[in-house]
Structure 1
């Protein structure tokens, strides 16, 4: 508990109780037929909130942060299956706890600290939850409120927030093994390759979502907190072209349909917004296998963005959150996940990769 007589600032983030849809089964083979559409150029679409279903309105606490002049207290919603939580402050390991709360004292008045809450499921080596948030002790609040008073107001993000999610192939070219050749129309033929994106992880450009390039697929959500309702939640999607080569020479290009990229459970109030990205897009030359992920994006006007869900571990996936607190935009990474194997495009051949992350701005 905070020391007696110290002013307290409390920030509580609330979201719907349902945190994620069911993920694919991890046993057996359930082949997914993919789109064979041959659309010229990049496929894109834009819709607003009125064109999709409104999500659940019942809200429950998701994360709370309380600060005094010298303490920071954190409380969070439990991650299903988690045995322990590791707490880090400014990359310093503060230890583990089985609880869903943490408090630290002896901090500098008016200082800003970055905390990470990392949840591990017993028996799994992969981190399933990694939340990053900033907390500032309340030294400057003494002149604003009498000692002991409770402060619940906070600096709202006045303009907009955004999430960009891209999948990409780090290599410039990708060859086909026997299994890939059999599913991509060239069984028994040598020398075939698909073009990649030839890059590493890359934060969005200043002009994003305009001008984005070098991706397999792209999904985007912008929350305009002060705009009229029809423009309050703007959603975009795009598919990059797939190019084939044989023995190093260009052969042809196709672009997959974006029909398997869906925005669902969209909702926006004055201080909270959400939208789910449901993604299932295959190679337009291949009859089975697809890039799949399913994540719920949660936006809190007071400065937190969460992403919860899962992905197939191919190809590389990256997502970034945009904040605009004082008219100056900046991005923070939500996920940067590698391409473990193109065999992971066939789902049950690889474990599903859990996503449970959050960042604050």
Structure 2
């Protein structure tokens, strides 16, 4: 086997590996359709390696040569469709199919032209350059572009231009007098070696885009309480510091569903889940823009209200209490009402957040002791801080 033949086999195996990688990623990615198109792209394009081998050893040569050209080009057009799905871009598959068929017809028309000439080499390589150029343009049009997305655009442009350069390389290096001579020509070694590098580079960059999205999704999922749809304690802790850095005043509201155990005992865990879900939806809908809402315990919730003083926070808590007191809970009998109690604290200047949350929590317990379904204001921070200092 020649050096070019060995590289052809290596390229085929690399493409098959990426085919399996993309199928594996598709099982976890929210862009599973794009990942499947990428998998198909590498699988179909890899068929050209098989056809290239058949050209050298099995007639009819013309058929295998056209199939090698068509399969590689089909893989690149599938890549373009996958990128459209990846970036949520409108893609006319009919138009792409029409362009593809025109290029395949072009490949058939130039087959008998003298090889090793620009007359044949440039029209042969141009469809590949155009197909990858369309993918680069689609990626460039993406509304939100990260560094990896921009790197993908640069790589696709470079790969597209490389096919134009290959047209000139075929002339200067010598591509053989016939299609059957390709594997033993000097140009084949150049073509397959650069192809191996670019296959790996494009495949890894696409995998990088998909895997980074999976990692981002997993991070979000780890910070979201699935039942209420709000942040969990981790999500709250990871986000609250940035809000604390904004100009004061800030306030904390801690709330807790009343007699939640009796809801579970009477209506089962499904009834309890319905109450938590309804309360979470109410908090999310009622909270002002910029507020941070989280479920931090079984039936306990916290709201961080940036740039909000004590008076506004108390009014907001009273409105939440009144709304919850009269609102039905989907999934529970119509006449059943699940109320909530609230503790409100304004965060003092330079006061640690955990101290303010402790004061709000104490106010919540005061609301519970006062008969539930009410709002209580926390002790001023100076009093609490003084008490902590005395205790230490």
For this structure pair, what is the TM-score category when the shorter chain's length is used for normalisation?
Answer: under 0.3
Q: Determine which structure has greater relative contact order: mean sequence separation of CA pairs < 8 Å that are 6+ residues apart, divided by chain length.
A: 1
- Compute the TM-score of the two structures, normalised by the length of structure 1: 0.24
